[in-house]
Amino acid sequence: MKSLIVVLSGLCFILSTSFTTKVDEGIFFEHGRYSEAKKLAKETDKTIFIDSYTQWCGPCKKMAAQVFTDSEVGAYFNQNFINVKMDMEKTEGILIARRYSVNFYPTLLFVKPNGELIRKEVGYQNKKQLLQLAKDVMN
C-alpha cells in the first residue's frame, strides 16, 4: 500500500511539473475585458499587445500554435507587455476592431494604457519578425 502511494505521489509530481512548464512557456494572455487590460497596463506602466484574430483565420491559428507558444517570445512579451487575445467577431472584439480599423487577420496591435495606438501590424509574423516588431515598439 505504501509503495502504491509513493508511486502515485511521484506520478502526480511529474505530471504537475510538466504541466507547469507548459504554462510558463509562451505568451501569457490576459482573459478579461479590454478595460481591465488598460487598468493593469496603467498600474504596471506597460504597453498593451492585442492579438486580433478570428476563429476561421488560418494564419492566426498558426501563430497561436507556433509563435506565441515559443519560450523566447513568451519571455519577452510577458516581461514587456500586457497581452490580450481578442476574437474580433465577438462581443468586445467588434468594438475594438472598429476603434482600431482592424479589417484583416491576424492584426497585431500595440496600444498605450490610455488607448492610443502605437503600432498596427497586419499579417502572419514568424518568431524573428514578431520579436523585432516588439523591440521596435519598445524603442
Averaged pLDDT, 40-45: 96
pLDDT digits (tens, 9 = 90+) for 65-95: 999 999 999 999 999 999 999 999 999 999 9
Of 135, 139, 125, which is closest to residue 51 (Cα–Cα)? 125
CATH architecture for segment(s) 27-138:
3-Layer(aba) Sandwich (3.40)
Angle (CA) 122-127-131 rounded to 5° is: 75
Phi-psi region of 36 (alpha: psi -120 to 50; beta: other; left: phi over 0): alpha
Contacts of 108 (CB under 8 A, 6+ apart): 49, 50, 51, 52, 120, 121, 122, 125, 130, 133
Q: Where are the domains of the chain?
A: 27-138
| pLDDT value of residue 18 | 37
DSSP code of residue 28: P
| pLDDT value of residue 11 | 41
pLDDT digits (tens, 9 = 90+) for 98-111: 999 999 999 999 99
- Grid coordinates in use for 69? 507558444
